[in-house]
Structure 1
Amino acid sequence: MRATFARRTQAPRTVHSWWGKAWQRAVEEAAYSEAELRPGRAAARRGDVGGISVDSGSLLAAVRDGDDAWTVEVVVPTLEPDMAQALVEVVAAESGRIADLLAGALPHDLVEHAEELGVELLPYGGELAATCTCEHYLDPCAHAIAVLTQVGWLVDDDPLVLFAVRGLDREDLLAALHARAAGHGRSAGPVVGELADDVELAVDAALRARRIADLFEAGADFEA
């Protein structure tokens, strides 16, 4: 399911998460030289990147450059169906992982467990295949680096953006977890059935947290 994130005109002070830093390293690996990396990062910080469209295996955005605007598309390999199911199993292996993901955290052991099963969630530089409508002869150009840099900010804020890029967005993940819990619950008794309750509680908690955050940003006062 395609999702479009609004244009960001202010850069974060820093990328704080380990998975956000891993994305940054992949962007550095993808760049041919500092000649593209530095101006690309500067363009991202200036807010030259328009709204970023994230879909299964695809990132799309326009980048302003003076009086011109160029279209950048990045293609990232998606998980094969069996690998996507394996990732669902990894998430479901510990109920706390669902709550962590919905709260904006990516457990390190989740990624390690997935890698043991052959599921690569975090991309490496060679997987970030970028093209741009500008006349630069190398890809990724500075415009593509700007888009990839801002996508890193999105991933830093919400690791489920990473899942979506790999072909398993939030809705698909939750639906798969529900289906797994329901199917196992019929034969495995109430213990496995508790996973469905954990999913519901985690979703509710995440939605409540988002509403509170929105109220804080809107300047609402909360009594102690």
Structure 2
Amino acid sequence: MRTTFSRQTRPVRGIRSWWGKAWQRAVEEAAYSDAELRPGRAHARRGDVGAITVEPGGLLAACRDGDDAWTVEIAIPVLEEAAQTALVEAVAAESGRIAELLAGHLPHDLVEHAEEVGVELLPFGGELTATCTCAHYLDPCPHALAVLIQAGWLVDADPLVLFALRGVDRDDLLADLHARTVLPPGSALDARVSGDLADDVELVVDAAVRAERLLPLFEAGADLPGELV
């Protein structure tokens, strides 16, 4: 599934999450030298990058440079099917993990759990490959680095963007977790964990329904019904 995010503005307080900083370190590793990284940062901070499209395995955006605009494509490896399944199982293994993810927080123990079963969620520099329509002789060029830096702002605000890049879509993740809550339990422990997970998913769905019903009323300036607040 493709998702396009509107033009980004630099976070007022900068990158604050540990996973956002990990992404930025990967971008720095991917850069050939500071000669490309410095102008890349300048492009990102000036807002020269347009809307960013996120899809499994890649990013697509345009970057303005003076009177010109160049098209940037970023590739990042998608997890194999078995690794995607293992990642979903890691999310389901502890009650509260999906709620944290949907609240914009990536639990450190979730990433450690995934790594223990051979799933690398956070990229390293060598995994971030880029092409740009500009004439720069190195990849990633400053335009591609600008897109990568702004992609890090997206990941910092919503770690599920990272999941989407790795091939695990938000809606598919929720559907998979929901399906797990209705499977027959294999043990008392499975039953407890499944019950906790069902509660998490139910709370998330309820919050989404409330938000969908409240938003039109809020935009119209109407009084909000107490039962939905």
Q: Taking structure 1 as the reference length, what is the TM-score of the superposition? A: 0.89
Q: Which has the larger radius of gyration?
A: 2
**Percent of aligned pairs with the same amino acid:** 72
Deviation at 1:176, TM superposition (A): 1.2
Contact kept in structure 2, 1:182 and 1:193, CA below 8 Å: no
Residue equivalent to 1:198: 200
Deviation at 1:113, TM superposition (A): 0.5
1:112-149 Cα shifts (integer Å, max 9, x gaps): 01000000000000000111010001000000000000
Deviation at 1:202, TM superposition (A): 2.7
RMSD: 2.7
2:130 aligned with 1:118: no
Residue equivalent to 1:94: 94
Whole-Å Cα distance in 1 between the matches of residues 69 and 131 of structure 2?
A: 14
Secondary structure of 2:130's counterpart equals: strand
- Displacement over 4 Å in runs of 4+: 187-190, 206-213
Deviation at 1:209, TM superposition (A): 7.6
Secondary structure of 1:95's counterpart equals: coil
Contact kept in structure 2, 1:49 and 1:147, CA below 8 Å: yes
How has the CA–CA distance of structure 1 residues 180 and 156 changed in structure 2, closer, same or farther, with 3 Å as cutoff? Answer: same
Contact kept in structure 2, 1:12 and 1:153, CA below 8 Å: yes
Residue equivalent to 2:38: 38
Residue equivalent to 1:20: 20
Whole-Å Cα distance in 1 between the matches of residues 211 and 146 of structure 2?
A: 30
Contact kept in structure 2, 1:49 and 1:63, CA below 8 Å: yes
Secondary structure of 1:61's counterpart equals: strand
How has the CA–CA distance of structure 1 residues 135 and 207 changed in structure 2, closer, same or farther, with 3 Å as cutoff? Answer: farther
How has the CA–CA distance of structure 1 residues 59 and 207 changed in structure 2, closer, same or farther, with 3 Å as cutoff? Answer: farther
Whole-Å Cα distance in 1 between the matches of residues 209 and 101 of structure 2?
A: 13
2:48 aligned with 1:54: no
What does residue range 1-224 of structure 1 map to in structure 2 within 5 Å? 1-8=1-8, 10-13=9-12, 14-185=14-185, 191=192, 192-205=194-207
Secondary structure of 2:96's counterpart equals: helix
Whole-Å Cα distance in 2 between the matches of residues 12 and 54 of structure 1?
A: 19
Pairs aligned (count): 220
Unaligned runs of 5+ in 2: 225-229
Whole-Å Cα distance in 2 between the matches of residues 132 and 119 of structure 1?
A: 29
Whole-Å Cα distance in 1 between the matches of residues 148 and 138 of structure 2?
A: 15
